[in-house]
A and B are shown apart, each in its own frame.
Chain A
Amino acid sequence: MMKARAVISISGAKDLSGEKETQIIVPSSVSRQDLLKDLVSRFSLQAIESIITLAVNEEYILDAEEINLKNGDQLAIIPPLSGG
Protein backbone atom coordinates (compact mmCIF):
# COMPACT_ATOMS: atom_id res chain seq x y z
CA MET A 1 0.00 0.00 0.00
CA MET A 2 1.28 3.49 -0.86
CA LYS A 3 1.92 5.73 2.12
CA ALA A 4 2.01 9.47 2.63
CA ARG A 5 3.60 11.59 5.33
CA ALA A 6 0.95 14.06 6.54
CA VAL A 7 0.90 16.71 9.26
CA ILE A 8 -1.99 16.35 11.67
CA SER A 9 -3.35 18.93 14.08
CA ILE A 10 -5.92 18.30 16.77
CA SER A 11 -7.88 21.26 18.02
CA GLY A 12 -9.84 21.40 21.24
CA ALA A 13 -8.59 17.95 22.13
CA LYS A 14 -5.10 18.63 23.33
CA ASP A 15 -5.65 17.21 26.74
CA LEU A 16 -7.25 14.12 25.25
CA SER A 17 -4.26 13.33 23.13
CA GLY A 18 -1.45 15.37 24.62
CA GLU A 19 -0.54 16.54 21.14
CA LYS A 20 -1.20 19.63 19.05
CA GLU A 21 0.49 18.91 15.78
CA THR A 22 2.56 15.97 14.69
CA GLN A 23 3.65 14.08 11.59
CA ILE A 24 2.04 10.76 10.81
CA ILE A 25 2.30 8.17 8.07
CA VAL A 26 -1.05 7.38 6.49
CA PRO A 27 -2.19 5.34 3.49
CA SER A 28 -2.20 7.52 0.37
CA SER A 29 -5.66 6.32 -0.54
CA VAL A 30 -8.15 5.65 2.22
CA SER A 31 -11.84 5.99 3.04
CA ARG A 32 -12.89 8.63 5.53
CA GLN A 33 -14.20 5.92 7.79
CA ASP A 34 -10.92 3.99 7.89
CA LEU A 35 -8.83 7.11 8.32
CA LEU A 36 -11.03 8.29 11.17
CA LYS A 37 -10.84 4.89 12.85
CA ASP A 38 -7.06 4.97 12.57
CA LEU A 39 -6.77 8.50 13.98
CA VAL A 40 -9.21 7.85 16.82
CA SER A 41 -7.22 4.89 18.07
CA ARG A 42 -3.88 6.56 17.44
CA PHE A 43 -4.78 9.63 19.51
CA SER A 44 -7.25 8.01 21.94
CA LEU A 45 -10.21 10.09 20.80
CA GLN A 46 -12.86 7.42 21.40
CA ALA A 47 -14.89 9.68 23.71
CA ILE A 48 -15.58 12.20 20.95
CA GLU A 49 -15.44 9.89 17.91
CA SER A 50 -19.09 10.43 16.95
CA ILE A 51 -18.76 14.21 16.71
CA ILE A 52 -15.32 14.66 15.17
CA THR A 53 -15.05 16.44 11.89
CA LEU A 54 -12.08 15.77 9.70
CA ALA A 55 -10.44 18.19 7.28
CA VAL A 56 -7.73 17.73 4.67
CA ASN A 57 -5.90 20.86 3.59
CA GLU A 58 -8.48 23.04 5.35
CA GLU A 59 -11.45 21.41 3.63
CA TYR A 60 -13.97 19.18 5.38
CA ILE A 61 -14.24 15.56 4.34
CA LEU A 62 -17.75 14.21 3.92
CA ASP A 63 -18.82 10.84 5.28
CA ALA A 64 -18.60 8.77 2.16
CA GLU A 65 -15.59 10.37 0.62
CA GLU A 66 -12.48 8.52 -0.51
CA ILE A 67 -9.39 10.50 0.45
CA ASN A 68 -6.20 10.75 -1.55
CA LEU A 69 -3.23 11.93 0.48
CA LYS A 70 0.25 13.00 -0.49
CA ASN A 71 3.33 14.04 1.45
CA GLY A 72 2.89 17.33 3.32
CA ASP A 73 -0.91 17.24 3.33
CA GLN A 74 -2.52 18.84 6.37
CA LEU A 75 -5.01 16.76 8.29
CA ALA A 76 -7.08 18.40 10.99
CA ILE A 77 -9.34 16.93 13.64
CA ILE A 78 -11.92 19.47 14.75
CA PRO A 79 -14.40 18.56 17.45
CA PRO A 80 -17.10 21.15 18.17
CA LEU A 81 -16.33 23.37 21.16
CA SER A 82 -19.20 24.28 23.42
CA GLY A 83 -17.82 26.65 26.02
CA GLY A 84 -18.58 30.33 26.08
Chain B
Amino acid sequence: MVIEKDFKDPRILQLKEEIKNLKLLLCQKETELSELLKPVAFSCCHGPSMKGASKEKLSATEISRYSRQMLIPKIGVKGQLKLKNSSVLIVGVGGLGCPAALYLAAAGVGCIGLVDHDCVEINNLHRQVLHSDVFLNQPKVDSAFAALRRLNEEVEFRTHKTQLSSSNATDIISSYDVIVDATDNAPTRFLLNDVCVFTKKPLVSGAALQTEGQLTVYNYENGPCYRCLFPKPPPPNSVKNCGDAGVLGTVPGVIGTLQAMEVIKILTENKGVLSGRLLTYDGLDASFRTFKIRDKSKTCAVCSESPTIKELIDYEQFCGSAANDKNPSINLLNPNERIHVERLAELLKTESENNTFIDVRSPEEFEMCSISKFVNVPINSLFFYNTSSEPLFTDLKLDTEKPVYVICRRGNDSQRAVQILKDLYSHLEIKDVIGGLHSWAKRVDNDFPVY
Protein backbone atom coordinates (compact mmCIF):
# COMPACT_ATOMS: atom_id res chain seq x y z
CA MET B 1 0.00 0.00 0.00
CA VAL B 2 1.27 3.45 -0.86
CA ILE B 3 0.97 6.01 1.90
CA GLU B 4 0.31 9.50 0.56
CA LYS B 5 2.88 11.90 1.93
CA ASP B 6 1.60 15.28 2.97
CA PHE B 7 3.87 17.62 1.05
CA LYS B 8 2.35 20.61 2.78
CA ASP B 9 3.80 19.29 6.05
CA PRO B 10 5.46 22.36 7.65
CA ARG B 11 8.58 20.35 8.53
CA ILE B 12 9.02 19.31 4.89
CA LEU B 13 8.56 22.87 3.69
CA GLN B 14 10.95 24.17 6.33
CA LEU B 15 13.64 21.62 5.41
CA LYS B 16 13.28 22.43 1.70
CA GLU B 17 13.77 26.11 2.42
CA GLU B 18 16.73 25.47 4.74
CA ILE B 19 18.44 23.21 2.19
CA LYS B 20 17.93 25.78 -0.56
CA ASN B 21 19.51 28.48 1.59
CA LEU B 22 22.42 26.22 2.53
CA LYS B 23 23.07 25.50 -1.15
CA LEU B 24 23.16 29.22 -1.89
CA LEU B 25 25.45 29.79 1.09
CA LEU B 26 27.74 27.02 -0.15
CA CYS B 27 27.95 28.75 -3.54
CA GLN B 28 28.80 32.07 -1.91
CA LYS B 29 31.58 30.44 0.16
CA GLU B 30 32.95 28.70 -2.92
CA THR B 31 33.01 32.00 -4.80
CA GLU B 32 34.78 33.65 -1.90
CA LEU B 33 37.36 30.89 -1.78
CA SER B 34 38.04 31.02 -5.50
CA GLU B 35 38.46 34.82 -5.29
CA LEU B 36 41.09 34.31 -2.58
CA LEU B 37 42.86 31.63 -4.64
CA LYS B 38 43.19 33.88 -7.69
CA PRO B 39 46.75 34.90 -8.52
CA VAL B 40 47.56 38.50 -7.64
CA ALA B 41 48.38 39.75 -11.12
CA PHE B 42 45.22 38.34 -12.56
CA SER B 43 44.94 38.65 -16.30
CA CYS B 44 42.92 35.73 -17.48
CA CYS B 45 43.18 34.80 -21.06
CA HIS B 46 45.68 37.48 -21.96
CA GLY B 47 48.41 35.21 -20.92
CA PRO B 48 49.22 32.14 -18.99
CA SER B 49 48.20 33.25 -15.52
CA MET B 50 46.18 30.04 -15.12
CA LYS B 51 46.04 30.12 -11.36
CA GLY B 52 49.80 30.22 -11.12
CA ALA B 53 50.20 26.71 -12.48
CA SER B 54 53.08 25.88 -14.76
CA LYS B 55 52.18 26.27 -18.38
CA GLU B 56 55.04 24.22 -19.79
CA LYS B 57 54.18 20.99 -18.08
CA LEU B 58 51.38 19.05 -16.53
CA SER B 59 51.21 18.26 -12.82
CA ALA B 60 50.83 14.70 -11.55
CA THR B 61 47.16 15.41 -10.79
CA GLU B 62 46.60 16.82 -14.25
CA ILE B 63 48.17 13.77 -15.86
CA SER B 64 45.89 11.48 -13.84
CA ARG B 65 42.86 13.65 -14.41
CA TYR B 66 43.21 13.94 -18.18
CA SER B 67 44.96 10.61 -18.83
CA ARG B 68 42.02 9.03 -20.63
CA GLN B 69 42.00 11.70 -23.31
CA MET B 70 45.78 12.07 -23.40
CA LEU B 71 46.07 8.39 -24.31
CA ILE B 72 44.60 9.30 -27.69
CA PRO B 73 47.59 9.87 -30.00
CA LYS B 74 45.94 12.94 -31.58
CA ILE B 75 45.78 14.60 -28.16
CA GLY B 76 48.71 13.39 -26.06
CA VAL B 77 50.66 15.61 -23.65
CA LYS B 78 51.11 18.17 -26.41
CA GLY B 79 47.38 18.49 -26.97
CA GLN B 80 46.60 18.62 -23.26
CA LEU B 81 49.12 21.43 -22.77
CA LYS B 82 47.53 23.30 -25.65
CA LEU B 83 44.12 22.99 -23.97
CA LYS B 84 45.60 24.13 -20.67
CA ASN B 85 47.11 27.23 -22.26
CA SER B 86 44.00 28.17 -24.23
CA SER B 87 40.98 30.30 -23.63
CA VAL B 88 37.46 29.88 -25.00
CA LEU B 89 34.57 32.31 -24.84
CA ILE B 90 31.07 30.85 -24.73
CA VAL B 91 28.44 33.37 -25.77
CA GLY B 92 25.08 32.30 -24.38
CA VAL B 93 24.86 29.99 -21.38
CA GLY B 94 21.66 28.30 -22.51
CA GLY B 95 20.79 25.03 -24.21
CA LEU B 96 23.96 25.00 -26.33
CA GLY B 97 26.32 26.86 -24.02
CA CYS B 98 25.72 24.61 -21.00
CA PRO B 99 26.85 21.31 -22.53
CA ALA B 100 29.64 23.05 -24.48
CA ALA B 101 30.99 24.65 -21.27
CA LEU B 102 30.59 21.39 -19.36
CA TYR B 103 32.76 19.38 -21.75
CA LEU B 104 35.35 22.12 -22.25
CA ALA B 105 35.75 22.54 -18.50
CA ALA B 106 35.97 18.78 -18.02
CA ALA B 107 38.57 18.54 -20.79
CA GLY B 108 40.84 21.02 -19.02
CA VAL B 109 40.67 24.13 -21.20
CA GLY B 110 42.70 26.65 -19.19
CA CYS B 111 40.32 29.58 -19.23
CA ILE B 112 36.60 29.65 -20.04
CA GLY B 113 34.65 32.87 -20.39
CA LEU B 114 30.85 32.90 -20.12
CA VAL B 115 28.67 35.69 -21.51
CA ASP B 116 24.98 35.92 -20.72
CA HIS B 117 22.69 38.71 -19.68
CA ASP B 118 19.73 36.57 -18.61
CA CYS B 119 18.64 35.02 -15.36
CA VAL B 120 17.61 31.38 -14.98
CA GLU B 121 13.91 30.80 -15.70
CA ILE B 122 12.03 27.64 -14.88
CA ASN B 123 11.35 26.98 -18.57
CA ASN B 124 15.14 26.82 -19.17
CA LEU B 125 15.78 23.86 -16.91
CA HIS B 126 14.76 21.03 -19.25
CA ARG B 127 17.66 21.81 -21.58
CA GLN B 128 20.09 24.20 -19.90
CA VAL B 129 21.65 21.48 -17.85
CA LEU B 130 24.09 23.52 -15.76
CA HIS B 131 21.24 25.35 -14.06
CA SER B 132 19.06 23.97 -11.30
CA ASP B 133 16.10 24.99 -9.13
CA VAL B 134 18.35 26.63 -6.55
CA PHE B 135 19.44 29.22 -9.10
CA LEU B 136 16.01 30.25 -10.38
CA ASN B 137 15.98 34.02 -11.04
CA GLN B 138 19.76 34.23 -10.48
CA PRO B 139 22.13 35.27 -13.29
CA LYS B 140 22.87 32.36 -15.64
CA VAL B 141 26.59 33.11 -15.58
CA ASP B 142 26.65 32.74 -11.77
CA SER B 143 24.67 29.52 -11.89
CA ALA B 144 26.93 28.09 -14.61
CA PHE B 145 30.04 29.24 -12.75
CA ALA B 146 28.95 27.43 -9.59
CA ALA B 147 28.26 24.19 -11.47
CA LEU B 148 31.43 24.30 -13.57
CA ARG B 149 33.71 25.13 -10.68
CA ARG B 150 32.42 22.09 -8.85
CA LEU B 151 33.32 20.04 -11.89
CA ASN B 152 36.85 21.35 -12.34
CA GLU B 153 38.55 23.77 -9.99
CA GLU B 154 41.69 23.89 -12.13
CA VAL B 155 39.92 25.91 -14.83
CA GLU B 156 39.80 29.68 -14.63
CA PHE B 157 36.27 30.92 -15.26
CA ARG B 158 35.44 34.48 -16.25
CA THR B 159 31.84 35.59 -16.12
CA HIS B 160 30.49 38.46 -18.21
CA LYS B 161 26.95 39.26 -17.08
CA THR B 162 26.20 41.54 -19.95
CA GLN B 163 24.41 41.72 -23.26
CA LEU B 164 27.05 41.45 -25.95
CA SER B 165 26.80 44.58 -28.09
CA SER B 166 28.77 46.59 -30.63
CA SER B 167 30.24 48.66 -27.81
CA ASN B 168 31.64 45.84 -25.65
CA ALA B 169 32.04 42.84 -27.97
CA THR B 170 35.53 43.60 -29.30
CA ASP B 171 36.93 44.14 -25.81
CA ILE B 172 35.45 40.93 -24.47
CA ILE B 173 36.25 38.76 -27.47
CA SER B 174 39.80 39.84 -28.27
CA SER B 175 41.32 38.15 -25.22
CA TYR B 176 40.05 34.66 -26.12
CA ASP B 177 41.39 32.14 -28.64
CA VAL B 178 38.15 30.56 -29.87
CA ILE B 179 34.57 31.84 -29.70
CA VAL B 180 31.51 29.61 -29.31
CA ASP B 181 28.26 31.01 -30.71
CA ALA B 182 25.61 29.54 -28.44
CA THR B 183 23.19 32.45 -28.79
CA ASP B 184 19.51 32.42 -29.60
CA ASN B 185 18.98 35.38 -31.94
CA ALA B 186 20.01 36.75 -35.32
CA PRO B 187 21.42 40.19 -34.30
CA THR B 188 23.93 38.60 -31.88
CA ARG B 189 24.90 36.00 -34.50
CA PHE B 190 25.76 38.75 -37.01
CA LEU B 191 27.57 40.76 -34.32
CA LEU B 192 29.64 37.75 -33.27
CA ASN B 193 30.50 36.99 -36.87
CA ASP B 194 31.72 40.48 -37.62
CA VAL B 195 33.80 40.77 -34.44
CA CYS B 196 35.36 37.38 -35.13
CA VAL B 197 36.25 38.44 -38.68
CA PHE B 198 37.79 41.71 -37.44
CA THR B 199 39.71 40.05 -34.59
CA LYS B 200 40.56 36.91 -36.61
CA LYS B 201 39.00 34.37 -34.26
CA PRO B 202 37.43 31.06 -35.27
CA LEU B 203 33.70 31.00 -34.50
CA VAL B 204 32.12 27.67 -33.60
CA SER B 205 28.47 28.16 -34.39
CA GLY B 206 25.56 25.99 -33.28
CA ALA B 207 21.79 26.28 -33.40
CA ALA B 208 18.88 24.14 -32.29
CA LEU B 209 15.12 24.26 -32.63
CA GLN B 210 12.40 21.69 -32.00
CA THR B 211 14.11 18.42 -32.95
CA GLU B 212 16.74 19.79 -35.35
CA GLY B 213 20.17 21.28 -35.01
CA GLN B 214 22.91 22.85 -37.14
CA LEU B 215 26.64 23.14 -36.63
CA THR B 216 29.53 24.75 -38.50
CA VAL B 217 32.79 26.61 -37.91
CA TYR B 218 33.17 30.06 -39.46
CA ASN B 219 36.21 32.17 -40.14
CA TYR B 220 38.65 29.30 -39.70
CA GLU B 221 41.78 29.05 -41.85
CA ASN B 222 40.39 31.15 -44.66
CA GLY B 223 37.01 29.41 -44.62
CA PRO B 224 33.72 31.26 -45.11
CA CYS B 225 32.11 33.47 -42.49
CA TYR B 226 28.43 33.63 -41.49
CA ARG B 227 27.80 36.50 -43.91
CA CYS B 228 29.39 34.61 -46.83
CA LEU B 229 26.56 32.13 -46.35
CA PHE B 230 23.78 34.42 -45.19
CA PRO B 231 24.42 37.93 -46.54
CA LYS B 232 20.92 39.06 -45.64
CA PRO B 233 19.38 39.12 -42.19
CA PRO B 234 16.28 36.95 -41.76
CA PRO B 235 13.04 38.88 -42.29
CA PRO B 236 11.72 39.85 -38.82
CA ASN B 237 9.44 37.18 -37.36
CA SER B 238 10.42 34.63 -40.01
CA VAL B 239 12.84 32.78 -37.77
CA LYS B 240 11.28 30.87 -34.92
CA ASN B 241 12.67 30.82 -31.39
CA CYS B 242 12.63 28.12 -28.73
CA GLY B 243 10.00 30.01 -26.71
CA ASP B 244 7.48 29.77 -29.54
CA ALA B 245 8.37 26.69 -31.53
CA GLY B 246 9.81 24.65 -28.67
CA VAL B 247 12.97 22.57 -28.45
CA LEU B 248 13.69 19.09 -27.16
CA GLY B 249 16.49 19.37 -24.58
CA THR B 250 18.64 16.62 -26.04
CA VAL B 251 18.96 18.45 -29.38
CA PRO B 252 20.97 21.44 -28.07
CA GLY B 253 22.66 18.83 -25.86
CA VAL B 254 23.93 17.05 -28.97
CA ILE B 255 24.87 20.24 -30.85
CA GLY B 256 26.50 21.93 -27.83
CA THR B 257 28.59 18.82 -27.22
CA LEU B 258 29.64 18.81 -30.88
CA GLN B 259 30.61 22.49 -30.53
CA ALA B 260 32.93 21.51 -27.67
CA MET B 261 34.40 18.82 -29.94
CA GLU B 262 35.14 21.37 -32.69
CA VAL B 263 36.75 23.71 -30.14
CA ILE B 264 39.00 20.90 -28.90
CA LYS B 265 40.05 20.06 -32.47
CA ILE B 266 40.86 23.70 -33.20
CA LEU B 267 42.83 24.18 -29.96
CA THR B 268 44.80 20.95 -30.32
CA GLU B 269 45.48 21.78 -33.97
CA ASN B 270 43.83 18.64 -35.22
CA LYS B 271 42.54 18.30 -38.76
CA GLY B 272 38.92 17.73 -39.73
CA VAL B 273 37.49 20.96 -38.33
CA LEU B 274 33.96 21.50 -39.63
CA SER B 275 34.85 24.55 -41.72
CA GLY B 276 33.31 24.95 -45.17
CA ARG B 277 30.82 22.26 -44.20
CA LEU B 278 27.51 22.41 -42.38
CA LEU B 279 26.28 19.53 -40.27
CA THR B 280 22.57 19.13 -39.74
CA TYR B 281 21.03 16.84 -37.14
CA ASP B 282 17.47 15.66 -36.99
CA GLY B 283 16.74 13.95 -33.71
CA LEU B 284 13.43 12.50 -34.87
CA ASP B 285 14.87 10.39 -37.64
CA ALA B 286 18.30 10.17 -35.98
CA SER B 287 20.04 11.53 -39.05
CA PHE B 288 23.23 13.52 -39.39
CA ARG B 289 24.01 15.07 -42.77
CA THR B 290 27.03 17.09 -43.79
CA PHE B 291 26.70 19.60 -46.59
CA LYS B 292 29.61 21.12 -48.42
CA ILE B 293 29.00 24.84 -48.17
CA ARG B 294 30.45 27.62 -50.25
CA ASP B 295 33.98 28.95 -50.04
CA LYS B 296 34.63 32.46 -48.79
CA SER B 297 32.52 34.83 -50.87
CA LYS B 298 34.46 37.29 -53.03
CA THR B 299 31.70 39.82 -52.41
CA CYS B 300 31.25 39.22 -48.68
CA ALA B 301 30.47 42.47 -46.87
CA VAL B 302 32.98 41.77 -44.07
CA CYS B 303 35.53 39.11 -44.93
CA SER B 304 36.24 39.74 -48.63
CA GLU B 305 39.22 41.70 -49.97
CA SER B 306 37.07 44.79 -50.40
CA PRO B 307 34.65 44.80 -47.48
CA THR B 308 31.80 47.30 -47.29
CA ILE B 309 31.44 46.87 -43.53
CA LYS B 310 34.68 47.76 -41.78
CA GLU B 311 33.48 48.36 -38.26
CA LEU B 312 30.68 47.08 -36.05
CA ILE B 313 27.20 48.36 -36.87
CA ASP B 314 23.84 48.46 -35.09
CA TYR B 315 22.81 44.81 -35.39
CA GLU B 316 19.31 45.14 -33.96
CA GLN B 317 18.60 47.76 -36.60
CA PHE B 318 20.26 45.65 -39.32
CA CYS B 319 18.09 42.64 -38.45
CA GLY B 320 14.97 44.61 -37.53
CA SER B 321 14.66 42.55 -34.37
CA ALA B 322 15.91 42.63 -30.78
CA ALA B 323 19.03 40.82 -29.58
CA ASN B 324 17.10 38.36 -27.44
CA ASP B 325 14.57 35.64 -28.06
CA LYS B 326 11.70 37.45 -26.36
CA ASN B 327 8.71 38.62 -28.35
CA PRO B 328 7.93 42.34 -28.27
CA SER B 329 4.29 43.35 -27.70
CA ILE B 330 2.41 44.71 -30.65
CA ASN B 331 -0.50 47.11 -30.73
CA LEU B 332 -2.93 46.60 -33.59
CA LEU B 333 -6.32 47.35 -32.04
CA ASN B 334 -8.12 50.38 -30.62
CA PRO B 335 -8.59 50.45 -26.84
CA ASN B 336 -12.36 49.86 -27.30
CA GLU B 337 -11.61 46.60 -29.09
CA ARG B 338 -9.79 45.22 -26.05
CA ILE B 339 -10.64 44.13 -22.51
CA HIS B 340 -8.52 43.51 -19.42
CA VAL B 341 -8.26 40.14 -17.71
CA GLU B 342 -10.34 41.37 -14.76
CA ARG B 343 -13.25 42.11 -17.13
CA LEU B 344 -12.82 38.66 -18.64
CA ALA B 345 -13.08 37.11 -15.17
CA GLU B 346 -16.38 38.98 -14.62
CA LEU B 347 -17.78 37.91 -17.98
CA LEU B 348 -16.88 34.29 -17.35
CA LYS B 349 -18.55 34.41 -13.97
CA THR B 350 -21.78 36.15 -14.84
CA GLU B 351 -22.34 36.07 -18.59
CA SER B 352 -20.49 33.08 -19.90
CA GLU B 353 -23.56 31.80 -21.76
CA ASN B 354 -24.06 35.03 -23.68
CA ASN B 355 -20.58 35.26 -25.15
CA THR B 356 -18.21 33.20 -27.23
CA PHE B 357 -14.68 32.68 -25.88
CA ILE B 358 -11.93 31.73 -28.31
CA ASP B 359 -8.34 30.69 -27.51
CA VAL B 360 -6.15 31.04 -30.62
CA ARG B 361 -3.03 29.22 -29.41
CA SER B 362 -1.80 25.95 -30.95
CA PRO B 363 -3.57 22.72 -29.95
CA GLU B 364 -0.40 21.68 -28.06
CA GLU B 365 -0.51 24.83 -25.97
CA PHE B 366 -4.27 24.57 -25.40
CA GLU B 367 -3.78 21.05 -24.10
CA MET B 368 -1.13 22.22 -21.62
CA CYS B 369 -3.48 24.71 -19.97
CA SER B 370 -6.65 26.62 -20.78
CA ILE B 371 -9.45 28.58 -19.14
CA SER B 372 -12.73 26.70 -19.04
CA LYS B 373 -15.45 27.94 -21.47
CA PHE B 374 -12.77 28.73 -24.06
CA VAL B 375 -12.85 26.95 -27.42
CA ASN B 376 -9.57 26.31 -29.21
CA VAL B 377 -9.39 27.88 -32.69
CA PRO B 378 -5.65 28.01 -33.59
CA ILE B 379 -4.70 31.22 -35.36
CA ASN B 380 -3.27 29.24 -38.29
CA SER B 381 -6.72 27.87 -39.03
CA LEU B 382 -8.03 31.45 -39.12
CA PHE B 383 -5.51 32.33 -41.82
CA PHE B 384 -6.99 29.49 -43.83
CA TYR B 385 -10.55 30.69 -43.35
CA ASN B 386 -9.49 34.18 -44.21
CA THR B 387 -8.74 33.13 -47.77
CA SER B 388 -11.64 30.77 -48.24
CA SER B 389 -15.37 31.28 -48.29
CA GLU B 390 -16.13 28.56 -45.76
CA PRO B 391 -18.14 29.73 -42.81
CA LEU B 392 -15.83 29.40 -39.85
CA PHE B 393 -18.36 29.65 -37.04
CA THR B 394 -20.79 27.23 -38.64
CA ASP B 395 -17.94 24.76 -39.01
CA LEU B 396 -17.07 25.19 -35.37
CA LYS B 397 -20.73 25.16 -34.32
CA LEU B 398 -20.22 28.59 -32.78
CA ASP B 399 -22.94 31.17 -32.37
CA THR B 400 -22.87 33.89 -35.02
CA GLU B 401 -24.67 36.48 -32.90
CA LYS B 402 -22.94 36.55 -29.51
CA PRO B 403 -19.99 38.84 -28.77
CA VAL B 404 -16.60 37.14 -29.16
CA TYR B 405 -13.61 37.36 -26.83
CA VAL B 406 -10.23 36.20 -28.07
CA ILE B 407 -7.25 35.19 -25.93
CA CYS B 408 -3.72 33.94 -26.66
CA ARG B 409 -0.50 33.50 -24.72
CA ARG B 410 0.75 37.09 -24.51
CA GLY B 411 -1.82 39.26 -26.26
CA ASN B 412 -0.24 39.55 -29.73
CA ASP B 413 -1.86 36.76 -31.72
CA SER B 414 -5.22 37.60 -30.16
CA GLN B 415 -5.05 41.02 -31.82
CA ARG B 416 -4.18 39.51 -35.18
CA ALA B 417 -7.06 37.06 -34.74
CA VAL B 418 -9.52 39.86 -33.96
CA GLN B 419 -8.54 41.59 -37.20
CA ILE B 420 -9.11 38.42 -39.21
CA LEU B 421 -12.43 37.66 -37.48
CA LYS B 422 -13.68 41.20 -38.08
CA ASP B 423 -13.15 40.71 -41.79
CA LEU B 424 -15.24 37.56 -41.64
CA TYR B 425 -17.93 38.77 -39.22
CA SER B 426 -18.14 42.55 -39.45
CA HIS B 427 -21.49 42.70 -37.63
CA LEU B 428 -20.13 41.03 -34.48
CA GLU B 429 -18.59 42.59 -31.41
CA ILE B 430 -15.12 41.02 -31.28
CA LYS B 431 -12.50 41.92 -28.68
CA ASP B 432 -9.21 40.56 -27.44
CA VAL B 433 -7.84 40.12 -23.94
CA ILE B 434 -4.90 42.45 -23.24
CA GLY B 435 -1.75 40.61 -22.16
CA GLY B 436 -3.32 37.20 -22.79
CA LEU B 437 -2.87 34.27 -20.46
CA HIS B 438 0.31 35.77 -19.01
CA SER B 439 -1.80 38.61 -17.58
CA TRP B 440 -4.50 36.17 -16.52
CA ALA B 441 -1.95 34.19 -14.48
CA LYS B 442 -0.48 37.34 -12.99
CA ARG B 443 -3.64 39.20 -12.11
CA VAL B 444 -6.51 36.73 -11.85
CA ASP B 445 -5.39 33.14 -11.31
CA ASN B 446 -1.92 32.74 -9.78
CA ASP B 447 -2.14 28.97 -10.14
CA PHE B 448 -2.48 29.19 -13.91
CA PRO B 449 0.70 27.82 -15.59
CA VAL B 450 3.00 30.38 -17.21
CA TYR B 451 5.25 29.24 -20.03
A residues near B (Cβ < 8 Å) are: 11-12, 14-15, 20, 47-48, 50-51, 53, 55, 58-60, 62, 76, 78-84
Contact = CB atoms under 8 A, between A and B. Distances in A.
A83 B252 CA distance: 9
B291 A81 contact: no
B232 A50 contact: yes
Interface in B157-187: 182-186
A80 B239 contact: yes
B307 interface: no
B209 A12 contact: yes
B97 A84 contact: yes
B94 interface: yes
Contacts of A62: 294
Contact of A82 (B94, B185, B292): B185
Contacts of B233: 51
Given A12-B209, A80-B214, A60 B292 contact: yes
Given A12-B209, A51-B234, A83 B242 contact: yes
Given A48-B234, A50-B235, A62-B294, A83 B289 contact: no
8 contacts: A11-B280, A12-B209, A12-B214, A51-B230, A58-B289, A59-B291, A82-B239, A84-B182
A15 B213 CA distance: 15
Contacts of A11: 212, 280, 282
Interface of B: 92, 94-97, 182-186, 189, 206-210, 212-214, 229-230, 232-235, 238-242, 245, 247, 252, 278, 280, 282, 285, 289-294, 325
B96 A84 contact: yes
A12 B289 CA distance: 14
B212 A12 contact: yes
Given A82-B184, A82-B185, A15 B245 contact: yes
Nearest to A50: B232
Contacts of B209: 12, 81-83
Given A11-B282, A15-B245, A81 B232 contact: no
A20 B239 CA distance: 18
B294 A60 contact: yes
A83 B240 contact: yes
A15 B234 CA distance: 17
Contacts of B184: 82-84
A84 B280 contact: no
Contacts of B282: 11
Nearest to B184: A84
